[in-house]
Amino acid sequence: MARRARAGILGFTGYSGAELVRILKAHPHAEPVLLEHRAVSDSELPVGENTSRIPFDTSAMEGEGLDVVFLATSLEVAMEAVPRILDAGIRCVDLSAAFRLRSVSDYRRWYGVEHSCPELLGEASYGLPEFFREMVRISRLVANPGCYPTAASLCIRPLIVAAILDRPPGVICDAKSGVSGAGRKPSLKTHFCEVTENFSAYSVLNHRHVPEILYTTDLDENELGFTAQLLPLHRGILETIYVRTAESMEWEDLHRIYAKEYSGEPFVRIFPKGRLPDLRGVQGTNYCDIGFRVDPESRRVVVVAAIDNLVKGAAGQAVQNMNLQLGYPETAGLTGGRGQE
């Protein structure tokens, strides 16, 4: 039997990190190694979490024979850690935003930070396998996409490629996310009593994920209206996307475009006529479910996409990228989950 890959996880106490641990424990070809860059108290760990932990330093990582490190940390920690990991000859899948954008000026504008290793921005591949699979395979540094852009890009890009949209006015993306998208750090915003029985918009027209959507879709900034909203639930993103087509289209026309784009894709499911995705269908899985309605007369199209923000929107896609980097079957470790066929 082949040796299992050793996959380090930096930031394993957050929601994405814990999901990485869960997925990797059941992975047929890899196993998780928890990396501590600060002391972690037992109360932060899930009950029964007994995976061995090692300190995050170069010699320890080399001693452990790590093949890849996942960074489920802040952007700041990732910027500092990624060069050290790469220098140790270890691949990285970065779940923070540290290497998703293309230029230092983008980081100044959208994150208000001066990027500390701009020389790696050009090298990083954007880990949305449906569009950039071959680049991911050969990258030692994969920038794992944001949760919102994963669903938005998978919906919008086929429409751009097929050149069927009225531009302007472009695309409206009304996005709703569960609370785990805000991270595990306690705040008033994520306090149960502030969230339950409530719903609110929190980032209208200026969300940090916008540049990622522009990058994957080639939309101009003026052509995208994006709003993020907070659902009173744990996990899942549903995006409702509004466009107008230049010519009148039928449902079947649109279906042909999506079916062709995602033919053979293991993690994109196009819904049949009359059915639309919901969150229940994707929770715990690596699927992006897509459905749509078409009104030929007004030329309006509404596309609805659902993902689990912690799986296809974070840890699941990260493992999908690792599978590509290490030459495993792309779906390895990702075929379980409640919502799945």
Q: Which residues are catalytic?
A: 147
Angle of the 210-217 helix axis to the 104-111 helix axis, nearest 10: 140
Residues that bind its own copies (rule: CB under 8 A) add up to a total of 77
Q: Which is nearer to its own copies, 180 or 286 (CB)?
A: 180
Among residues 57, 64, 80, 278, which is the contact residue for its own copies, using CB under 8 A? Answer: 278
Residues 253-272 that bind its own copies (CB under 8 A): 269, 271
Q: Least distance (Å) from its own copies to the CB of residue 337?
A: 9
CA atoms of 295 and 33, how far apart (whole Å): 51
CA atoms of 257 and 136, how far apart (whole Å): 25
Query: Are 317 and 311 a contacting pair, CB within 8 Å?
Result: yes
Among residues 87, 119, 197, 247, which is the contact residue for its own copies, using CB under 8 A? Answer: 197
Residues 73-92 that bind its own copies (CB under 8 A): none
Q: Which is nearer to its own copies, 211 or 281 (CB)?
A: 281
Side chain identity at 256, as an amino acid letter? R
Q: Which class for 265: exposed (0-12), middle (13-18), buried (19 or more C-beta within 10 A)?
A: middle
Residues 16-75 that bind its own copies (CB under 8 A): 22, 25-26, 43-44, 46-50
Positive or negative torsion for Cα 130, 134, 135, 141: positive
Q: Least distance (Å) from its own copies to the CB of residue 137?
A: 29
Residues 199-228 that bind its own copies (CB under 8 A): 199-201, 204-205, 221-223, 225, 227
Q: Least distance (Å) from its own copies to the CB of residue 145?
A: 21
Q: Least distance (Å) from its own copies to the CB of residue 188?
A: 6
Q: Which of 239, 235, 250, 234 is nearest to 207 (CA)?
A: 239
Binding of its own copies at residue 99 (CB under 8 A)? no
Give φ, ψ of 200 to 5 degrees.
-155, 155
Q: Which is nearer to its own copies, 118 or 168 (CB)?
A: 168
Q: Least distance (Å) from its own copies to the CB of residue 84?
A: 29
Name 336's Cβ contacts closer than 8 Å, sequence gap at least 6. 26, 284
DSSP code per residue over 52-83: -EEE-SHHHHHHHT-SEEEE-S-HHHHHHHHH
Among residues 129, 149, 158, 281, which is the contact residue for its own copies, using CB under 8 A? Answer: 281
First-to-final CA distance of the chain? 29
3-class DSSP state of 37: coil
314 DSSP β-pair partners: none
Among residues 104, 161, 214, 233, which is the contact residue for its own copies, using CB under 8 A? Answer: 233
CA atoms of 322 and 7, how far apart (whole Å): 9
Per-residue HEC secondary structure of 288-336 comes to EEEEEEEECCCCEEEEEEEECCCHHHHHHHHHHHHHHHHCCCCCCCCCC
Among residues 30, 82, 141, 238, which is the contact residue for its own copies, using CB under 8 A? Answer: 238
Q: Least distance (Å) from its own copies to the CB of residue 67?
A: 23
Residues 291-320 that bind its own copies (CB under 8 A): 293, 295, 297-298, 300, 302, 304
Q: Least distance (Å) from its own copies to the CB of residue 182?
A: 9
Residues 164-193 that bind its own copies (CB under 8 A): 166, 168-169, 172, 174, 176, 178-180, 184, 186-188, 190-193
